[in-house]
Structures are given as structure tokens and as C-alpha cells.
Structure 1
Amino acid sequence: MSMMIEAEGLSKTFRITKRRPGFLGGLRSVVDPEVRTVSAVRELNLQVKRGEMIGLVGPNGAGKSTTIKMLTGILMPSAGQLRVAGLLPVRQRRELAGRIGVVFGQRSQLWWDLPLQDSLQLLRHLYRVPEQRHQHNLGQLRKMLDLDEFMDTPVRQLSLGQRMRGDLAAALLHDPELLYLDEPTIGLDVVAKARIREFLLSLNAERGTTVLITTHDMDDIETLCPRMLIVDHGRKLYDGTVDTIRERFGGQRTLVAVLEANETVALSTLPMDEIGNSSLPDLPPGVRLQKIEGPRLELSFGRDTMPAHELVAWLGARYRLRDVTFLEPEIEAVIRRIYEENLLIEDSSIAV
């Protein structure tokens, strides 16, 4: 499988001029300005295979947008080497534009006062898509994105979810090999988000389109992206699977057990701890009783406390179990903990 994106030592710095307050300070800033250099992206190494779906995660100011702008050829890197679809983004920007699609959740490439149908027709001419190919692609996208109900509606009258579906169609009319999505589900309701995610999964599976997503919505990452890239202050902190980072930094897991109905009496007779909560006697070290509701109880335990199957066996030896499930920590909470505690700053071994 060939590479779609190849970046080595990719960096971008900006020179920022700061004006001094007051008349004399303002005059001085013209002839002798105070200039400082800001590193937006620092020595980023990244390889993305064709057909991959990868999530780019980081707080505001982490360097995500700058990275996307370099990948699309909008910005020239300050240092490093970069190829996208085998092309040099800045030098071959026009050719690259015909092979990529871009959707920004906060911006639209559709014409505000025109019906969606007319916007998509104009884009055909901008991308110079042959009529037959355009009609074929549009027919598929109309079906996959369920566009027919609002094709004749001016873009300004579309709901946010409808406009996002229209923007996706606009970005895919010319059969791009690579799709960049910047906050594709921002502001959407639950139903609209589910529809967009389902479409993107189908697009990747059926067309093999490579997808790079930047988002603050961790549900997007968990649903769509087997691979996740975490950046902060222009540096890559992590590049790997969602499951791996949850396993390493996920903290506590939760075992939810539903006991047989006649065990409810046994639970009601459990002893109380010093603050008046029920407690299970002889709990293994590192295991804590979280909650009891009728025949349902929850136990929290660390990943390094004991294997999950041993905890189930321990509980099963004391009560008759009807059902057992495990709840993993939400990836959003894991990422927040990583940033708040700087868990990856000194651990360069996992930034590959």
C-alpha cells in the first residue's frame, strides 16, 4: 500500500511584529519593530497510507490548522520535506487541488444565495469535471447523502446538517483521493452526526478514500478513526490506535454486574463503611465498590490492578451473576487527562 502523505521534519514558524504602546513606541515599531518567532509546527513526522482514516487531535493553538494548510499547499513549510499524493503541495498546488477535497465545518464552499443544485453545477466547471462523470458522481452522492429533498433550496435556507451534507458532496464531486475534514460535525445534532459518520465510513470502505479529520469531538475519532495523532504546541505527542492510548492512560475501568433477582436481599444486608455507604467485604486490593442499585452493582478497578476475568471470577464465587459488562473510560476524558497531567511530554517512545 503506497503512501498518501509523507512528511519528515515538517516545521512552520511565523514572525510576529508587536507594536509598542504610545506615539513614540508606535513610531519606533515602524523603524525598529519588536519581532518574535512563533513555532506553530515543530519537526512533524507523519506517514499516512492510502485508504487510511486518521484523526488529528489537539487543543486550540496546537498546530492542527497550520498542518492542514501545509498539507493542502496553502502554506509553505519553513523546514522539512512533504509530499501529498506524490506531489509537492506548494509547487504543484493546482494539480493537487484536483486530487483532494476539503470540508471546513465553520466555512462553506457553496454559494450562499444559490440553490444547492446550482452550486454543485458551478463546482463541476471549477474542477473541470466531464459532464458524464459529474452526473454519475452526483447521482451517487445524492443517494448516499440523501440530498434530493433540498437540492433546489438556497444554501442560506439549509439547516446546518443539510449544509454539511451539501459541502461533503461539493468536496467529493471530482473523485478526490484524499479528503480533509476540519470539525465536520461541529454544531450538528445527534441524528445529523450519525448520518455524516455513516457516510464517511461507507465512503472509505467503498471508494478507498483517505480521510484526515481534525476535531474536538472524540466520538468522531472513536467511530471513524482506527488511528489517532495527538499534537500540542506544534509537537507530535502520540501516533497510534485509540485502543492503545486508552489502555495506557485510561485509568479506571468499570465492571457492571447484574445479579440474579434473589441476590438483591444479599446486597441489601451488606455492611456499611464509615461514611454510610454499602461495602463489599474482602474486596481485592485496588477494587472499589462504586454503586449498588437493586440487583445491579458497579466496581471500579485499575488496568494494572488485576485482570478483568479474575475480578469476574471473584464476584461470581460470591454471587450468582445474570450479566456482566465492562465500561471503558471515555476517550475524551483520557485526552483531557493527558494534557492536564502532561503524561506524554517525557514519553517520546510512543510518538512514532
Structure 2
Amino acid sequence: MSGRPPSPRAGEHVIEARGLRKDFTVRVRAGRLRRERRVVSAVDGVDLTVTRGEMLGYIGPNGAGKSTTLKMLTGVLMPSAGTVRVCGLTPVAQRTRLAARIGVVFGQRSQLWWDLPLRDSFALLRHIYRVPAAEHAARLRRCRDLLDLDGFLDVPVRQLSLGQRMRGELTAALLHGPEVLFLDEPTIGLDLVSKQAVREFLAELGRSGDTTLVLTTHDLADIERLCRRLVVIDHGRVVHDGTIEELHARYGSRRLVVVDLDAPLAAPPELPGAPLHQADAEGRRLVFVCESVTAGEVVARLAGLAALRDISIVEPDIEDVVARLYRGPDSALTAPGAD
């Protein structure tokens, strides 16, 4: 008997944190010559549960506590208070056993050997994690196909581009079949082609439902494309936990209808449920905010009032929504393309 806790079944929690807290003691100036110690809470009472197969976006501004949370979940840091279990294990106390159950891709940490060809790094990891040869070969074959690795498998890691190295890091983190994959800024600094390859690979991984994914990033396009659930943390506390759609609704994000008229109207139209947001100086371009009506209803009403030359629908941008969250819900909307 190995004593390994059973893997969570579908619908069960692979991550459970209650009242999670991490304090650091810092020295601050208290006069010309004197410094005093002060306790700073990087994470302040986070409650978080993640179910098997879920793809979770965990975001926040710099210093919000994202990376500190991940380090406690992966056993790198000991919590100051609260409880946390990942894959049925206590991360710090059972860190070695947990390492066999999770995969980690952190920008400042590499699992690859700098002077060895990528293929040799993968072979060494197989022996470190004691993965059966057939399982290792099957997983590597899948990663080779989805991440297009064959062109640089025999290239030393130090000669790889950033995008190639990130694809290698993702593969290295998955070869032992982890139940949870923690990703910290996986697409930062990548070119557009490499970003797209990484996103498509992670999306395919999520669709399979075998691996739970926890993603922290400043690139909100990653979140929009990959994660249905979004947790936003600020000053160490969770300020939103729900879907991206709920975030849009909660913080006043609305779809915009931008119309170009053949000729300006004598007076701006008043559309119930869709107030006029912006107009250009000539009155030919009008921007309406869909508050309680659909974009189709706005267009239909406008078509009965004026000849429309062009119509465009501007979807709410999650980056703007999160910025509004940090600034407060009364921040002004912006309308791309409107003067």
C-alpha cells in the first residue's frame, strides 16, 4: 500500500482552502534613524474551492497576493493561518507526495536542464517521477502533436526561443500525469504564434477534463479564451468569484452599439433601455449602451428613425471590466472607435 489518497472523482474538490492567510514581517522607516517592524498580510483570509477538471482564472493587480496564494497551494510557503488541502494532501507537510500529483509552470522556475537537449530533459523527468515507459511515451506523443515539438526536441534548452522553451515547460509539467496544473504567466513575453499554440494546447487540455487548471496571468485574453470561472483577488482578499459574465454584469459592463448614419438627426434619439453614450461632432456616429435591451432591439429602433450606413457591436472587454473593478463601479465606459 502506498498510502496515496484516492484521486478526487468528478465534482469533488481537488483544492480546498479556508481562511488562508500569509503574513510577512517587514521593516519600515519610523524616523531618520529608526526602523520598526510591521506585519503585512499578503493573503488575508482567502476561501477557495476548485473541482476536478475545472479551469480557474486567478487574477489581480501586482502585489494582490496571487503568487503567494499559489506558493501556499503548491507547498512552497507555509500559511500563517487557515487550512489548505490539494489532492487530499497538506501542501507543506506532504510536499514530496504532492509534487507527484501536481504540475507547476512558473516563469522564474524551470524543470528543464539548460545544457541538455529537450528530449533528454523529458527522459530524466520520467525517471525522477518514476513514470512507466508506455505512459510517458503516450503523453509525450500527445504534447509533441499539440505543441509541435518535433522541430526542436534535439536542441539544447539554452538555444531555444522563449516560446519553444515555454512549450517544453508545459510538456515537462504534464509528463507525470498531474491532477492539477498551476500556471503563473504562461504566455508572458511570447510572440503571437507561440501564444496561440499555448492557448490552444491548454484549451484542449481543459476539454479533456482530466487535469484541473489554475491560471494566473496579466494577459486577460488568456482568461477569456480558457477560463469560465474567474477569481479576482485584491489586497489579499477575494473581491469576485464567479463567471466572466457575472463580472461584466456586476461592474456595469455593457455591450455597445455603434451606428453611422447617412445624415445626422435633428436631435439625438432617446431609446429606453439604451442611453446614448457618445456622439461625434457632426452627429453621424452614435454610440448606445445596451442596459436593459438587446443590441438587435437597438438596431431595429434606430432603423425606424434614420438611414443607417454602418453598424458595429462592441463586446465588453474583460480588461476594462477588471480595471473598473479596481477603480470602482462608477468609472466611465469607453467606446472603441467613437470620437
Normalised TM-score (structure 1): 0.82
The aligned counterpart of 2:230 is 228
**Once the 2 structures are TM-superposed, how far is the Cα of residue 196 of structure 1 from its aligned partner?**
0.6
Matched, 1:326 2:299: no
The aligned counterpart of 1:16 is 26
1:67-89 per-residue CA deviation (whole Å, 9 max, x = no partner) reads 00110011111111111111111
Deviates more, 1:205-214 or 1:148-157: 205-214
1:96-150 per-residue CA deviation (whole Å, 9 max, x = no partner) reads 1001000013432211111111111111122121222222221221112110000
1:21–1:113 Cα change, 3 Å: farther
The aligned counterpart of 1:147 is 149
Which residue identity lines up with residue 330 of structure 1 in the other structure? D
1:205-250 per-residue CA deviation (whole Å, 9 max, x = no partner) reads 1252100000001101100000000001111101001111112224
Matched, 1:62 2:51: no
Q: Equivalents in 2 of 1:240, 1:284: separation in Å?
A: 31
**Once the 2 structures are TM-superposed, how far is the Cα of residue 320 of structure 1 from its aligned partner?**
6.1
**Once the 2 structures are TM-superposed, how far is the Cα of residue 336 of structure 1 from its aligned partner?**
1.0
Q: Equivalents in 1 of 2:223, 2:40: separation in Å?
A: 29
The answer to whether the 8 Å contact 1:63/1:233 transfers is: yes
Which residue identity lines up with residue 165 of structure 2 in the other structure? R
Higher radius of gyration, 1 or 2: 1
Matched, 1:283 2:293: no
The answer to whether the 8 Å contact 1:228/1:239 transfers is: yes
Q: Equivalents in 1 of 2:31, 2:127: separation in Å?
A: 50
The answer to whether the 8 Å contact 1:13/1:39 transfers is: yes
The aligned counterpart of 1:81 is 83
The answer to whether the 8 Å contact 2:257/2:290 transfers is: no
Which residue identity lines up with residue 95 of structure 1 in the other structure? R
The aligned counterpart of 2:133 is 131
The answer to whether the 8 Å contact 1:4/1:49 transfers is: yes
The aligned counterpart of 2:263 is 269
Is the partner of 1:136 in helix, strand or coil?
Answer: helix
The aligned counterpart of 1:317 is 304
Report the number of matched residues.
317
Which residue identity lines up with residue 269 of structure 2 in the other structure? D
The aligned counterpart of 1:49 is 51
The answer to whether the 8 Å contact 2:252/2:329 transfers is: no
The aligned counterpart of 1:274 is none
1:21-54 per-residue CA deviation (whole Å, 9 max, x = no partner) reads 99xx6xxx8xxx7321110111111110000000
The aligned counterpart of 1:253 is 255
**Once the 2 structures are TM-superposed, how far is the Cα of residue 284 of structure 1 from its aligned partner?**
2.7
Q: Percent identity?
A: 54
Q: Equivalents in 2 of 1:280, 1:45: separation in Å?
A: 52
Q: Equivalents in 2 of 1:312, 1:58: separation in Å?
A: 36
The aligned counterpart of 2:5 is none
Which residue, 207, 210, 213 being the options, matches 2:212?
A: 210
1:181-211 per-residue CA deviation (whole Å, 9 max, x = no partner) reads 0000001112211111110011121252100
The aligned counterpart of 1:194 is 196
1:269–1:342 Cα change, 3 Å: closer
The aligned counterpart of 2:323 is 336
The aligned counterpart of 2:334 is none
1:271-317 per-residue CA deviation (whole Å, 9 max, x = no partner) reads 5xxxxxxx764333621454699xx955221525x553432221122
Structure having the higher helix fraction is: 1
**Once the 2 structures are TM-superposed, how far is the Cα of residue 323 of structure 1 from its aligned partner?**
7.8
The aligned counterpart of 2:291 is 303
Q: Equivalents in 1 of 2:253, 2:129: separation in Å?
A: 49
Unaligned runs of 5+ in 2: 1-10, 331-339
Matched, 1:168 2:170: yes
The answer to whether the 8 Å contact 2:276/2:286 transfers is: no
The answer to whether the 8 Å contact 1:226/1:242 transfers is: yes
Which residue identity lines up with residue 242 of structure 1 in the other structure? I
Q: CA RMSD in A?
A: 2.6
Is the partner of 2:38 in helix, strand or coil?
Answer: strand
Q: Equivalents in 2 of 1:280, 1:308: separation in Å?
A: 21
1:309-335 per-residue CA deviation (whole Å, 9 max, x = no partner) reads 432221122346698553222111111
1:98–1:280 Cα change, 3 Å: farther
Which residue identity lines up with residue 144 of structure 1 in the other structure? L
